[in-house]
Each structure stands twice: as C-alpha cells, then as structure tokens.
C-alpha cells in the first residue's frame, strides 16, 4: 500500500511539474539571472564574467548582475540586445521542447544573439546545427512559457 501511495504522489508531482509555466528568465532561487554572470561581457569580452551585486538591474522578473557600471548601463539601455535567448535556459533543451539550467561557460553568439547551454557537452550537440536548433527553439519557446 505504501508503494502505491508513493507512486501516486510521484505521478501527481510529475503532472504538476509538467503543467507549470516556465518563468520568463532562468534564475537561481534568489532571483538572479544566468547564475549571476554578466550578459554584456559575452559580447564585449568574448567570455563569461561573473557579475557583482554592486551592479544590478531588475528586468523581466529577474535580477541581472554586471561586472561594471558600464555593462549595467549598456544592458539597461537595450536589454533585448544582451539578454540570452530563451530566458537564459539551455538553448538545446528548448529546441527539444523542455527547459534546463545552464553552465555559463557553455555559450555562443549567433546572429548577434547570446545562446547558453546546459554543459559544454550539450553545446557540442547544439552546435551540430545551430540555425536549425534555434529555429526549433523559437517554435517551442512560446509553448514552454504558457504550459
């Protein structure tokens, strides 16, 4: 009987998780976007750089951190230009119809847009067809937000 109750609880939990809409931005439990990394630095320094709580900006239901006031101000002026696509969730996962966290070191700029991935291994998979994966992810993203 105890096993049956556990199975029912697990099934209900999975069903509720599947019904939950994703937040527009992938955040830590503290509400910080992209694990506290500076989204502007990917463009200006071509590498992941940790942001600081001294340079923060709230946008799209998340706190974004930056390595400098200059980067914060660039983001503030044009957040859509610098924010990672698909809310900072793993771009490959979104192309497959689900969301996953990211490794800030697994990134690529394609067509002037920042894409993050779960890991360097997953990024290699995503890079086999970035344009195709971006297209699939763009089709899946609106549905993931409203599930």
Which tens digit of pLDDT belongs to each residue from 12-29? Answer: 333 334 445 678 999 988
Q: Find how far residue 106's CA is from the centre of its chain.
A: 11
- What pLDDT, on a 0 to 100 scale, did the predictor assign at position 69? 98
Q: Please, are residues 123 and 106 in contact by the beta-carbon 8 Å criterion?
A: yes
User: pLDDT for 83-122, tens place per residue?
Assistant: 999 999 999 999 999 999 999 999 999 999 999 999 999 9
Percent above pLDDT 90 for the chain: 80
* Cα gap 80→43, rounded to integer Å: 13
Those residues whose C-beta lies under 8 Å from the C-beta of residue 89, and which sit 6 or more positions away, are 22, 26, 99, 100, 101, 102, 116
């Amino acid at each position: 009987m105890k096993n049956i109750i556990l199975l029912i609880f697990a099934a209900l939990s999975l069903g509720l998780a599947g019904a939950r809409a994703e937040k527009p931005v992938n955040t830590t439990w503290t509400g910080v976007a992209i694990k506290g990394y500076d989204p502007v630095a990917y463009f200006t320094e071509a590498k992941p750089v940790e942001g600081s709580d001294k340079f923060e900006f709230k946008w799209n239901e998340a706190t974004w951190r930056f390595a400098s006031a200059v980067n914060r101000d660039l983001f503030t002026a044009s957040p859509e230009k610098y924010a990672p696509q698909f809310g900072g969730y793993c771009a490959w996962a979104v192309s497959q119809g689900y969301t996953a966290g990211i490794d800030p070191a697994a990134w690529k700029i394609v067509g002037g847009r920042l894409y993050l991935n779960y890991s360097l291994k997953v990024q290699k998979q995503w890079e086999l067809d970035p344009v195709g994966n971006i297209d699939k992810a763009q089709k899946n993203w609106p549905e993931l937000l409203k599930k």
